[in-house]
Amino acid sequence: MTVSGMWSRVDRARVREHVVDTNDGIIASAGIVEGLLGAGAGSRILLVASLAAMAGGGLALGGMRYAETADERDARQAVLEAERRRIDLAPAEEETELAGLYRDRGLSPQLARAVAAELSAGDALAAHAEAEYGLSTRDHPPAPWTVAVVAGLGFALGAGVPLLVVLLAAPAWRSVVTVVAVVAALSLTALAIASVSGTSVARTVLRTVSIGLLTMLVTFVGGSLLG
């Protein structure tokens, strides 16, 4: 198996999704920290708020990812099971339908019928799932709990960047150090996203960092006004 075969499109999409979860943790926690700094909050409040953002955000995101993945899994299983029943009840009609799908994609009627017959003789469900719904029966979707745990940990990892600043930086420098640390962290995650997605590195980094900076600016100004 080639490296490109092992590193499939599905794998890239999953990695990208988890890196985005880390991005969310960085930006959300940094916004909270900068807002509180703008309001003049002390070290204890900053620490409690950062920990709450890390725990609450990670649990919320994990729960959301669990629900999304479970819904997708259930919908996929329902589609495959419904298609399996149709094939069992009317195999000839389903084979004719499959031939029509290949004919609509540009195959000649004779070739379309031959392809449909050969695929149906091998694995009719796999052929129909791919041709009709774009599903591969060879793929094994991740377990919802796995996705939830990885998403929650990814968010918590990102939220740990501003938390480290709160713990380690001198109070007078916390706001500036938070901005620097967040820009550096977002640049790294954006680079990872661009690498797995095949998109422009410069554009991805600029977009991601700009969102982070805007979030911190808005929350800092809001905190200053309220404080």
3-state secondary structure 75-105: HHHHHHHHHHHHHHHCHHHHHHHHHHHHHHC
Other CB atoms within 10 Å distance of the CB of residue 176: 12
pLDDT above 80: residue 124: yes
Cα torsion angle, 120, 125, 126, 127, sign: positive
Segment 186-198 shows an average pLDDT of 91
Segment 188-197 shows an average pLDDT of 91
| C-alpha pair distances (Å), 202 with each of 14, 28, 187, 195, 209 | 22, 23, 10, 11, 11
Instruction: Please tell me the predicted confidence (pLDDT) of residue 10.
Output: 59
Instruction: Please tell me the predicted confidence (pLDDT) of residue 28.
Output: 95
Terminal Cα distance for the chain, rounded: 60
What is the rounded CA–CA span in Å between residue 39 and residue 49?
13
Share of the chain above pLDDT 70, in %: 96
Identify whether the C-beta of residue 202 lies closer than 8 Å to the C-beta of residue 179: no
Q: b/e string for 83-98 if b means 16 or more Cβ within 10 A?
A: beebbeeeeeebbebb
What is the pTM for the complete model shown? Answer: 0.81
Instruction: Please tell me the predicted confidence (pLDDT) of residue 138.
Output: 79
**Tens digit of pLDDT for each residue in 3-52?**
444 445 657 777 888 899 999 999 999 999 999 999 998 999 999 999 99
Identify whether the C-beta of residue 122 lies closer than 8 Å to the C-beta of residue 93: no
Instruction: Please tell me the predicted confidence (pLDDT) of residue 4.
Output: 45
Is residue 166 exposed (0-12), middle (13-18) or buried (19+ Cβ within 10 Å)? buried
Rg from Cα positions in the chain: 25
pLDDT above 60: residue 157: yes
| C-alpha pair distances (Å), 132 with each of 78, 93, 102 | 14, 14, 10
Question: In this structure, what token pair is assigned to residue 206?
Answer: 């600029």
pLDDT above 60: residue 150: yes
Segment 153-179 shows an average pLDDT of 93
- Model confidence at 57, pLDDT cuts 50, 70, 90, reads very high
What is the rounded CA–CA span in Å between residue 166 and residue 163?
5
Identify whether the C-beta of residue 180 lies closer than 8 Å to the C-beta of residue 209: no
Instruction: Please tell me the predicted confidence (pLDDT) of residue 71.
Output: 94
If you average pLDDT over every residue of the chain, what do you get? 89
Identify whether the C-beta of residue 91 lies closer than 8 Å to the C-beta of residue 117: no
What is the rounded CA–CA span in Å between residue 148 and residue 206?
29
